[in-house]
Amino acid sequence: MDTQIVEQDILYRDYNVCILKPEVKKGVLIFTNYTENEALKVGPMYGIKSPLQLYNEGNETGRKIHDPYITFRAPYYATEIDYTSVESEIRSSFGENEQYKQGRMYIRVDPSTTKVFSSQIRDSYISTYPIYDYNNSYNSLFTELYKSRKTMSDYLSIIRENENKKRDENKQYLYHLYTYKITGFPTIYKMNYPFTKYNVNRRTEVQVTKSHMTPDYFVAIY
């Protein structure tokens, strides 16, 4: 199978993402979670909207920051993709039984040009440097997120290296939120930002800066 991505394969592209046409058996599947809401016109019939779009439409989102992009979860694993079916592709990137989970919308992206960001930065940065005025402090948080910006291909290589790294039982292992790399420290080391104990492969995202993604963007909706 020819997995080289060409211009005819591309549906949408911006600074941070390259989305492929759903029917193209190339690239990597990633997902966003949704809750169907007829009043907001979100769900399988309508697609999904960014928090900022929902807010601009006069909806209460429960958020303090209304991002202009729709967030997708990056792959959990860096294994070779099995393109036999959509379900096998999902298993390749997210593991067994993930293909049965409901409330997810999947798109197909080019990993060589699509960028990833560390989702954990939101919680870790805010807890370390509390943000009291969210409107004025958004740029500060955004700057932190961009310190973790990498191509998905690089990210997949790093999490593969992390998985294969030998562990010393006398050390604690922490992940760097900018580099995604795991490092061993003495057990007495006090963890400080930007390190985290949480595995980065479950807390990494892709940002699609669109106000509304209609159903034709999606490979599968569960």
The yes-or-no verdict on residue 132 having pLDDT over 50 is no
The yes-or-no verdict on residue 222 having pLDDT over 80 is yes
Q: Which residues contact 156 (CB under 8 A, 6 or more apart)?
A: 75, 78, 111
The yes-or-no verdict on residue 60 having pLDDT over 80 is no
The predicted pLDDT at position 136 comes to 54
- The structure tokens listed for 129 are 């440097």
The predicted pLDDT at position 188 comes to 86
The answer to which of 13-17, 126-130, 202-206 has the lowest mean pLDDT is 126-130
Q: Measure the CA–CA gap between 98 and 81, rounded to whole angstroms.
A: 15
The yes-or-no verdict on residue 21 having pLDDT over 80 is yes
pLDDT band of residue 1 (cuts 50, 70, 90) is: low
- The structure tokens listed for 169 are 């039982």
pTM over 0.85: yes
Q: Of 49-58, 108-117, 190-199, which one has max mean pLDDT?
A: 108-117
Q: Measure the CA–CA gap between 79 and 91, rounded to whole angstroms.
A: 10
The answer to which of 3-7, 62-66, 72-76, 189-193 has the lowest mean pLDDT is 62-66
pLDDT digits (tens, 9 = 90+) for 83-107: 999 999 999 999 988 877 899 999 9
Q: Of 31-45, 87-101, 133-147, 203-217, which one has max mean pLDDT?
A: 203-217
Q: Confirm if 19 and 111 have CB atoms less than 8 A apart.
A: no
Q: Which residue has the tokens 């439409």?
A: 57
Q: Measure the CA–CA gap between 45 and 60, rounded to whole angstroms.
A: 21
Average pLDDT of span 134-156: 82
Average pLDDT of span 32-55: 89
For all residues of the chain together, what is the average pLDDT? 89
The predicted pLDDT at position 123 comes to 77
- The structure tokens listed for 109 are 């992206």
The predicted pLDDT at position 166 comes to 86
Average pLDDT of span 142-154: 93
The yes-or-no verdict on residue 64 having pLDDT over 80 is no
